[in-house]
Amino acid sequence: MHKEFVLTDWIRITRAFNEIEGEGIITDKGNTCCQSCGAHELGSDDTPYVFFHEQDELDAFGDDAETLDSDLYLSYSDAGTAITAVGILRDHGLQASWDGDINRRIRIAV
Ligand SMILES: [Zn+2]
């Protein structure tokens, strides 16, 4: 039987991250172990970045690894990058927000 295509949260985030990359921002989905490793690995030069680390991914996604069970938090390099990323994430139907405080992360609400 043909399986119907379902636009999951993971696919929305992947599409949004691809578009964010198009803005010259490095992205990463869960390939770094923690916030400091991610910032170190992605922020080694001056290129802006947005990412969530492995623990964030495990905490936020359900057993299917496709659907958000709880809020997902994203780290970023600077305020301009956060604003760009939130706009694109929202364009892709995700409930992204950032309160303008660079000490707080971008939130994608369930
Ligand atoms: Zn680490």
Tens digit of each residue's pLDDT (9 = 90 or more) over 76-88? 999 999 999 999 9
Expressed in angstroms and rounded, the spacing between residue 54 Cα and the centre of ligand 1 is 9
Expressed in angstroms and rounded, the spacing between residue 56 Cα and the centre of ligand 1 is 12
CA 55 distance to own-chain centroid: 13
On whether the CB atoms of residues 70 and 95 are closer than 8 A, the answer is: no
**Residues 74, 57: Cα–Cα separation, whole Å:** 10
Domain extents in the chain: 9-109
Asked if the model's pLDDT at residue 55 lies above 70, the reply is: yes
Expressed in angstroms and rounded, the spacing between residue 32 Cα and the centre of ligand 1 is 7
pLDDT in tens, 58-108: 999 988 889 999 999 999 999 999 999 999 999 999 999 999 999 999 999
Taking the alpha carbons at both ends of the chain, their separation in whole angstroms is 31
Give the 3-state secondary structure of residue 73: strand
Average pLDDT value over all residues in the chain? 94
What residue spans of 23-105 are helical by DSSP H?
Answer: 35-42, 54-60, 79-91
CA 40 distance to own-chain centroid: 17
Ion ligand 1, residues whose Cβ is below 5 A away: 33-34, 37
The predicted pLDDT at position 3 comes to 77
**Residues 28, 36: Cα–Cα separation, whole Å:** 14
More confident call, 25 vs 43: 25
